[in-house]
Amino acid sequence: MREVLKGAQLLGIQCVADACRDILGETGDNPTNQQLPSRRKQDRCYVTRAVSPVRPVWRSPEDTPEYTRASHLGRLMNGSSHWSQEFTPIPHRPEDTPSEEEESGAQGRATPHHSQSQGGGASAGSGRKRKSQTPQQCPVCQKIIHGAGKLPRHMRTHTGEKPFQCSACGVRFTRNDKLKIHMRKHTGERPYPCPSCPARFLHSYDLKNHLSLHSGDRPFECPLCHKAFAREDHLQRHRKGHSCLELRTRRPRRGTDPRGSPPSESFGQQHLDHMSVAAAAQLLEGHGGPMQGVPLLTGARMPYPELLWRAVVGPVGKALDKAEGGSSPHGSASVTHRTWEEEDEEQEAAGEEEE
DNA sequence: CTGGGGACGGGGCCC
DNA sequence: AGGGCCCCGTCCCCA
């Protein structure tokens, strides 16, 4: 434990250091010790302080601070099985009543099914049969995990624990079902054959992706350059790359759209991005029409980065001002100092015009 | 930069 | 509650 304490101090993981001191019976010099009245609250406290408010996305769990911290925590808490016991379902403000817990479920409606722990509420009978299994909050990343027994599964993503090992090649997995799929590589089983060609696939979704190749469907279109993709993730990659400039923030991850648009409504956000271009184009047109050699409508391929840059920063405006003797109704400065709010209004107007 | 395959994690349903 | 199975979305890697 002293080694852990030393390591925690070295790494600056104050919460773990505090826990070590607590276990070792040392008071330590951290005043936060006095703020931890109960074990449960302590645990929560570790979590909140262990996770940085600005949490980068890490790919390899072994590389993550969370991994390191979770490993420490896991050891401190005597094994991963402890997670599910120590951390209870989420609607857990102590003052919550059972009915409030029902309400705070992710689905936001009464659970038609069960549950044992909540009195098996008179199944409203409508909707899905077995909807909400009490959601639980991950103590490390605060994420809400839905589904009974899913929290331990999720916790393994933090601890790096991979209890399922392939007997053929030794590769380890965090989940049994992933191991099962992996085993198909050794058995040669590819249970998802393409009906149109000899291709066979390990995963159903691979077949689904593959089928779009045969159909030629490219339902995912870039709102900026109108290039179409067969796969949504390819569109996302395209949009994140340099080939398509986005003036606004990137599309939020699912469920985190600050504008409140529902998940999967990617079109909404794409439309907004598209509107940014349209607004920029309008700005240019407001300066006296399209630049030479640069089409301003959004339907054709064009150097958007340059176009947008000029539209927002204003050299085009200057050039046009110069060309027109400064008679443009919008000075370049007005372009340069436009605010997001103004641009939003423009976007809305542009959207209406386009409709 | 794109197309394609695969890996990974989360959620729903069921037992 | 725990776990299996399946589907989905996203990301990574490679050609």
C-beta separation of A228 from A220 below 8 A: yes
What is the model's pTM? 0.42
Of the candidates A225, A228, A268, A229, the residue with the CA atom closest to the CA atom of residue A245? A225
Please return the burial class of A335, using the count of CB atoms within 10 Å of its CB with bins 0-12, 13-18 and 19+: buried
How many residues does this entry show for chain A? 355
Å separating the CA of residue A176 from the C1' of nucleotide C4 = 9
Mean pLDDT rounded to a whole number for chain A: 52
Strand partners, A201: A192
pLDDT tens-digit profile of A115-139? 333 333 333 333 333 444 567 777 7
Å separating the CA of residue A83 from the C1' of nucleotide C1 = 13
CA angle A258, A350, A277 (to 5 degrees): 70
Q: Which residue is nearest to nucleotide C5 (CA to C1')?
A: A177
Residue-level pLDDT at A113: 33
Q: Which residue is nearest to nucleotide B3 (CA to C1')?
A: A234
Report the nucleotide nearest the CA of residue A85, measured to C1'.
C1
Chain B bases near protein Cβ (<7 Å): 1-15
pLDDT tens-digit profile of A303-352? 333 434 443 333 333 333 333 333 333 333 333 334 444 444 555 455 44
A160: left (phi over 0), alpha (psi -120 to 50) or beta: left
pLDDT tens-digit profile of A97-121? 333 333 333 333 333 333 333 333 3
Tokens of A41: 């609250």
CA angle A296, A302, A308 (to 5 degrees): 65
CA angle A78, A82, A85 (to 5 degrees): 150
C-beta separation of A67 from A51 below 8 A: no
